[in-house]
Amino acid sequence: MTTSELIDKLRGYLDLDRQKQKGKRDKLRVLLKKLKKRQRTLEEELEKAADAKKRKRIKRDLKVLHTQRRKGVKLCRAIDCKKSSEKD
């Protein structure tokens, strides 16, 4: 195999990796939107809740959702950074 053929083969493998990352990022964005919607719903429930037990449960769920969303956003940004750095 010539050098150009090897480079083309490598480029093909790298493009596959980018496609997988793009798909992962797109799925992650959809999931983050769903989590944000759920978080807003819980915040509304928290405002309406009168029972202390229910408020405590909702606050705990909100804390978990917020933490997981933050991790997801961080991962999404990391994937975007990898993509842009590979173009350079």
Q: Model confidence over 17-63: pLDDT tens digits?
A: 777 888 888 888 899 999 999 999 999 999 999 999 999 999 999 99
pLDDT, tens digit (0-9, with 9 covering 90-100), for 67-88: 999 998 998 888 876 655 555 4
Please give the single-letter amino acid code of residue 28: L
- Cα–Cα distance between 67 and 84 in angstroms, integer? 26
Q: Please report, as a single letter, which amino acid is at residue 79.
A: I
pLDDT at 81 (0 to 100)? 65
Cβ(18)–Cβ(86) below 8 Å: yes
Number of C-alpha atoms within 13 angstroms, CB side, residue 74?
6
Report the number of distinct structural domains present in the chain.
1
What is the token pair recorded at 65? Answer: 């959702």
Domain carrying residue 72: 3-87
